[in-house]
């Protein structure tokens, strides 16, 4: 067996003195980021093969093959299609409401804020109001503090 990018069925055959036997087996993918040229780049290998096939340099984490300004690592984390420029993660701010899309199954989204961009210290927003409308999520900062705040959305995979 070899390293695979997804769990794969296989067959083993043995011959000995004119006798032979076969065995059907399953080769299990135990690490999602260890296959060939896609190994160790922070993106699930099956995702890269799904969109780019095997060994394609357009699958690199920093590549932006659809030209939408979002590299493959962001597209993977956001759950968007890296070969379709219309499929992109969007973020907007209206007052103290952060809206972003798409919200994709299997991901966790956390809105964080900082009061100073020089220190780059972001803190999870707590006590906000969250409203989902289709694949768009809006989070309103209910803090009574009126000082400047800078927001970002952190996307995590389990």
Average pLDDT, the chain: 93
In which band, very low, low, confident or very high, does the pLDDT at 145 lie, cut at 50, 70 and 90?
A: confident
Structure tokens at 58: 């357009």
Phi, psi of 100 (to 5 degrees): -150, 155
Determine the Cα angle at 33 with ends 29 and 37, to 5°: 110
Please return the burial class of 28, using the count of CB atoms within 10 Å of its CB with bins 0-12, 13-18 and 19+. exposed
Residue 26 has pLDDT above 90, yes or no: no
List, for residues 44-93, the tens digit of each pLDDT value.
999 999 999 999 999 999 999 999 999 999 999 999 999 999 999 999 99
What pTM value is reported for the model? 0.82
Task: Give the span between the Cα atoms of 55 and 37, in whole angstroms.
Answer: 6
Least confident of 27-41, 109-123, 130-144: 27-41
93 contacts: CB under 8 Å, gap ≥ 6 = 99, 151
Task: Determine the number of helices (DSSP H) and then strands (DSSP E) in the chain.
Answer: 2, 9
23 contacts: CB under 8 Å, gap ≥ 6 = 11, 12, 13
């Amino acid at each position: 067996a070899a390293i695979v990018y997804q769990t794969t069925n296989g067959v083993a055959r043995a011959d000995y003195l004119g006798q032979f036997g076969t065995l059907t087996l399953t080769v299990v993918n135990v690490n999602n980021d260890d296959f060939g040229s896609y190994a160790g780049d922070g993106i699930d290998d099956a995702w890269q093969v799904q969109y780019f096939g095997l060994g394609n340099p357009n699958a690199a984490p920093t590549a932006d093959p659809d030209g939408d300004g979002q590299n493959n690592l962001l597209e993977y984390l956001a759950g968007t299609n890296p070969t379709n420029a219309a499929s992109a993660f969007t973020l907007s701010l209206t007052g103290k409401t952060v809206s972003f899309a798409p919200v994709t199954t299997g991901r966790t989204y956390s809105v964080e804020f900082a009061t100073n961009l020089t220190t780059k210290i972001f803190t999870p927003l707590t006590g906000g109001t969250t409203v989902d409308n289709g694949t768009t999520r809006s989070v309103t900062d209910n803090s009574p503090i009126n000082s400047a705040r800078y927001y970002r959305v952190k996307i995590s995979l389990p």
